[in-house]
């Protein structure tokens, strides 16, 4: 049974938000009402400006139940980018917090708590493929309109697989530490709805007292985090906290430092918790591999083994290949491409270079393309260079790893403008990147930029 059908006892707790508990019956009623609002004669596209709140969740589930296609975007998305995406994809509905401006050409159709469903007239026939359930951005809040096309089967198979290896039951109470529109954060929601668990929805940060009060009050059982969150947990002296209900920690969204892996591996034993280190990509719906907690100390630095139903292999170029029913249908960069079928047929070239040990565990040893992950956000360094060049009028040079990004300019007077550009477009924490002046950019004999040397000069190997 598909997780979005909410086929669990009606009186069973499904969501806790702001201290109030909503049952699966309550949630299904809300979803049903929204499903009626977005009825159409053919399949249409809906933009949801997401927050970790009940309206966002209900709208997402309504789109799945109603057979529409949802595109999940952050509620704090930059205005010009959002306008560009609306122009490119021309959605039938835009669902957004009530305090945001109304997009030209759209009128209010429905209100659910503090969210508005905005609708426009549609004269042209739908171009949506019948299997297309969801669009997720490959580049977070950047200006690239490239989307991952996910099917209903992609979502369901990955939810089932994650629930299986995490051994999820209806007793679970995860708290939302990650954005809903981020594939990892969404997979937490999907897999726990599949298990009939109760989601504790919150927008509060792990650094706030309120977050930890909610964990205690609602007896939260698990925390999901990208590397930055685990850095924060250590700084917050997580080891000294008394959290008897908490029994599982999961990590993905980039490589976790070996020292932190070791720290939390030891901590799981002293606190009698499970700690899962995982690997995934939006292109595989969410996750592709994991390390069983009992193997973590032996396999520090590994991405583990394939999730149930999936398979990992290494091709002749050393690239890690994943096969599974959770592999996306393909990409889209325009509305016309939403009619395309499954071009990948269950096979994903990850772009990561990997090795496999004698026990069958895989290790990432490099990247074939220039991508990094910061705070779980996948960033194309070439896109950053283009964006900064457009804003400051001079070329910038970007390198980085999954901990920090380095940006170099050849005019010291443009450092502040480059920093402001990154902050406004990517919403990164100021400590996750640096912008510096460099008089001479290293180049190879061919004249191409020597990014390897630049990375070394910046201490970002």
DSSP letter for each residue of 76-111: T--HHHHHHHHHHH--SEEEEETTSPPPTT-EEEEE
Residues 359 and 378 in one domain: no
Q: Which domain holds residue 380?
A: 371-457
Q: Is 333 left (phi over 0), alpha (psi -120 to 50) or beta?
A: alpha
What are the φ/ψ torsions at residue 187 (nearest 5 degrees)? -65, -30
What are the φ/ψ torsions at residue 442 (nearest 5 degrees)? -65, 140
Confidence (pLDDT) at 444: 63
Confidence (pLDDT) at 438: 92
Residues 126 and 249 in one domain: yes
**What are the average pLDDT values for consecutive 10-residue runs of the chain, which has 461 residues?**
97 97 98 94 95 97 97 92 93 94 91 93 85 86 77 98 98 96 96 98 96 97 92 93 96 86 93 96 96 96 97 94 98 95 97 93 83 82 86 88 91 93 88 91 68 83 69
Residues 47 and 112 in one domain: yes
| CATH at 388 | 3.30.300.30
| CATH at 78 | 3.40.50.12780
Residues 123 and 77 in one domain: yes
Structural domain count of the chain: 2
Confidence (pLDDT) at 141: 45
Q: Which residue has the tokens 């009992």?
A: 294
Please tell me the distance from the alpha carbon of residue 388 to that of residue 409, in angstroms, as a whole number.
10
Residues 427 and 314 in one domain: no
Residues 348 and 428 in one domain: no
Confidence (pLDDT) at 359: 97
Residues 247 and 104 in one domain: yes
DSSP letter string over 145-176? Answer: --EEEEEHHHHHHHHHHHHHHTT--TT--BB-
Tokens matching residue 450: 């020597």
- Choosing from 312, 335, 366, the residue where a domain stops is 366
Maximal CA-CA distance, the chain: 69
Please tell me the distance from the alpha carbon of residue 1 to that of residue 194, in angstroms, as a whole number.
8
Tokens matching residue 292: 């069983």
- Choosing from 328, 347, 366, the residue where a domain stops is 366
Confidence (pLDDT) at 11: 98
Residues 121 and 89 in one domain: yes
- Choosing from 366, 384, 418, the residue where a domain stops is 366
Beta bridge partners of 372: 379
Residues 275 and 357 in one domain: yes
Residues 304 and 324 in one domain: yes
Residues 156 and 27 in one domain: yes
Residues 310 and 407 in one domain: no
Q: Is 237 left (phi over 0), alpha (psi -120 to 50) or beta?
A: left
What are the φ/ψ torsions at residue 115 (nearest 5 degrees)? -120, 145
């Amino acid at each position: 049974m598909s997780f979005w059908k909410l086929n669990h006892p009606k009186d069973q707790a499904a969501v806790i938000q702001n201290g109030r508990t909503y049952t699966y019956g309550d949630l299904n009623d809300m979803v049903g009402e929204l499903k009626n609002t977005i009825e159409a004669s053919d399949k249409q596209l809906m933009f949801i400006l997401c927050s970790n709140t009940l309206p966002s969740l209900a709208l997402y589930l309504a789109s799945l139940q109603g057979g529409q296609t949802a595109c999940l975007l952050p509620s704090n998305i930059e205005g010009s980018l959002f306008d560009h995406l609306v122009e490119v994809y021309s959605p039938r509905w835009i669902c957004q917090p009530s305090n945001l401006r109304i997009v030209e050409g759209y009128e209010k159709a429905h209100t659910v708590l503090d969210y508005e469903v905005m609708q426009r007239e549609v004269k042209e026939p739908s171009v949506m493929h019948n299997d297309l359930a969801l669009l997720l951005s490959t580049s977070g809040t950047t200006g690239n309109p490239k989307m991952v096309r996910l099917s209903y089967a992609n979502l369901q198979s990955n939810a089932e697989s994650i629930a299986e290896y995490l051994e999820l039951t209806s007793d679970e109470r995860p708290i939302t530490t990650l954005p809903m529109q981020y594939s990892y954060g969404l997979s937490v929601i999907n897999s726990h709805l599949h298990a009939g668990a109760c989601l504790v929805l919150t927008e509060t940060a792990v650094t706030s007292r309120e977050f930890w009060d909610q964990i205690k009050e609602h007896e939260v059982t698990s925390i999901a985090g990208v590397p930055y969150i685990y850095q924060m947990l250590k700084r917050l002296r997580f080891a000294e906290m008394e959290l008897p209900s908490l029994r599982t920690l999961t990590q993905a969204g980039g490589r976790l430092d070996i020292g932190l892996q070791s720290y939390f591996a030891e901590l799981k034993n002293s606190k009698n918790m499970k700690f899962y280190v995982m690997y995934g990509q939006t292109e595989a719906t969410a996750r592709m591999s994991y390390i069983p907690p009992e193997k973590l100390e032996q396999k520090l630095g590994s991405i583990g083994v394939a999730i149930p139903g999936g398979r990992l292999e290494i091709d002749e170029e050393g690239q890690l290949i994943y096969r599974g029913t959770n592999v996306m249908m393909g990409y889209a960069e325009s509305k016309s491409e939403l009619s395309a079928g499954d071009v990948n047929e269950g096979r994903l070239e990850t772009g990561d270079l990997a090795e496999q040990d004698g026990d069958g565990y895989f290790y990432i040893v490099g990247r074939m393309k220039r991508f990094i992950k910061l705070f779980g956000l996948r960033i194309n360094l070439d896109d950053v260079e283009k964006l900064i060049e457009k804003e400051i009028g001079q070329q910038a040079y970007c390198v980085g790893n999954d901990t920090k990004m380095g940006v170099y300019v050849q005019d010291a007077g443009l450092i502040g403008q480059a920093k402001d550009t990154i902050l406004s477009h990517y919403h990164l924490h100021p400590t996750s990147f640096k912008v510096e002046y460099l008089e001479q950019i290293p180049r190879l004999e061919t004249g191409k930029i020597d990014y390897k040397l630049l990375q070394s000069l910046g201490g970002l190997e």
